Chain A
Amino acid sequence: MIAIIDYGVGNLFSLESSFAKIGEEVTVTSDEKIIRSADRIILPGVGAFGDAAAKLKDSGLGEVLKSEAEKGKPVMGICLGMQLLFEKGYEYGEHEGLGLIPGSVKPISDVVPAGLKIPHMGWNALIFRGEQHPLFKYTKPGDCVYFVHSFHATDCEESVLAVAEYGAMLTAAVARGNVMGCQFHPEKSGDVGLAILKAFCEL
């Protein structure tokens, strides 16, 4: 069973539907027991880093996720959920993340040239770094996925699995052992996205 952590951030309908579509048992939950009994955990999220980090902390679910990840359970963060896996986020101030992956989350405007619209919104091609990760075993270089974000992970070179080109290279996917993250929305990326979720379920 896959637990999608519900900590009051964003709309989880599509994510839940996506796992149902690929035939996986899925629960949207804020119940610690269910999260601990799940085979895999998804940390979703949209909105601002600081608010979401505070909600994770106040609910205690951040600690639950961390301890499960440290036991070796596959964990995937999506969009803001991926950003929260890092040590720090710099969106409206400096905020502590979960610290499961070394690095920090900064505005893409630091690297994206003037004249390109922000947020980076739309379909962009994945460019893989290093050896192919099992998360992308069904994905080809150049496959497009759907992004909506104004911040991205930096100082995390050794964890980067894929980037996307938008006047600069933006971090698209990361992994450190059993902890993974996608900046893009696999649940909104058509068959390519569903195949990434399937690969996650097979890890």
Chain B
Amino acid sequence: MITKRIIPCLDVRDGRVVKGVNFEGLRDVNSPVELAKYYSSCGADELVFYDITASSDGRRLFTEILCETAKNVFIPLTVGGGINTVADFDRVLKCGADKVSVNSGAIRNPSLVGEAAKLYGDQCVVLSADVKRVGNEFRVFAKGGREDTGLEAISWIRRCVDNGAGEVVLNSIDTDGVKRGFDIEMLAAVCDAVSVPVIASGGAGRISDFIDLFKALPRVDAGLAASIFHFGEVKISDLKKEMEAAGIPSRLV
């Protein structure tokens, strides 16, 4: 049976891995290449390499660092940040990415997901959505969580999947950085709406948050986090052992 994936996210700015708390107050953590090597060898099932500033100021990913990371990573690598055109897909795929994650680019250009899926296959296109509760609905935010797009999240995500997104990363802005667990309610709404893999992001603070996630929502395929892994608050090997003990299929290394 397919194992539940554990995915460290390397948010990169100026060539360094950072993690924002509610997307503000960035802290410098480590070198992307070193972190990627470490995670690749110690049990991470996949890595997300994300330029968090690219969508707000248009800065391109540092191609050199991406290539260097990909040369040292022998697990699936997803790259996002600043992906606005099919040419951006091409650029990062040539640097060794396996999947490409689109966020603001898909909001600005709704045909991007479809065009990319046609060229590179659905499995290559990941929709990343930053979602926050506004009034009674889930709303899509752009520009690293700073701008309310007015788009209702569930219908937006469904539309992108219909257009060819092969996977969805749901990042709850409401739980991001709070470390009190994933946003089960929001994730359940997305799982009900789509049949492609859903990756939970935002809110993990300890091992039991992952166990609770996969127990409450067996349809969720993966859990993503950043700082708790980077700072060693949660060791992936310990997490995998506890998942296995709790009856959650996981890849032990």
Interface residues in chain A, defined as those with a beta carbon under 8 Å from any beta carbon in chain B: 11, 13-14, 17-18, 20-21, 46-47, 117, 119-125, 144, 146, 148, 165-166, 187-191, 193-194
Contacts and interface: CB of A to CB of B under 8 A. Distances in A.
B66 to A, nearest CB: 11
A148 B78 CA distance: 14
Contact of A14 (B3, B96, B196): B96
B2 A123 contact: yes
User: Which of A18, A122, A124, A194 gathers most chain B CB within 10 Å?
Assistant: A122
B151 interface: no
Given A117-B196, A123-B251, A146-B76, A17 B123 contact: no
Interface string B174-204: 0000000000000000000001110000000
Contacts of A148: 123
A13 B3 contact: no
A146 B75 contact: yes
Contacts of A166: 1-2
A121 B222 CA distance: 12
B74 A188 contact: yes
B212 interface: no
Interface string B75-96: 1100000000000000001111
Given A11-B94, A121-B2, A123-B3, A17 B70 contact: yes
Contacts of B196: 117
B213 to A, nearest CB: 16
Given A122-B5, A123-B251, A194 B95 contact: no
Given A14-B96, A46-B121, A121-B123, A188 B76 contact: yes
A150 B10 CA distance: 29
B45 interface: yes
13 contacts: A11-B98, A13-B94, A13-B96, A14-B98, A17-B72, A17-B96, A20-B71, A122-B3, A122-B221, A124-B1, A148-B123, A190-B41, A190-B74
B70 A14 contact: yes
Contacts of B5: 122-123
B95 A193 contact: no
Interface string B32-48: 00000000110001000
Interface of chain A, helix or strand or loop or mixed? mixed
B93 A193 contact: no
Given A20-B71, A146-B75, 6 more contacts: A14-B70, A47-B121, A124-B3, A148-B123, A188-B98, A194-B74
A144 B251 contact: yes
B197 A191 contact: no
Contacts of A124: 1-3
A201 to B, nearest CB: 15
B248 to A, nearest CB: 13
Contacts of B166: 119, 121
A169 B75 CA distance: 24
Given A11-B96, A121-B197, A144-B251, A193 B121 contact: no
A53 B186 CA distance: 43
Contacts of A123: 2-3, 5, 45, 251
Contact of B195 (A117, A190, A194): A117
A125 B98 CA distance: 21
B253 interface: yes
A190 B75 contact: yes
Contacts of A13: 70, 94-96
Contacts of A11: 93-94, 96, 98
Interface string B95-128: 1101000000000000000000000010100000
Contact of A17 (B2, B71, B98, B253): B71
A120 B196 CA distance: 11
Nearest to B198: A117
A38 to B, nearest CB: 22
A171 B33 CA distance: 34
A172 to B, nearest CB: 13
B40 A190 contact: yes
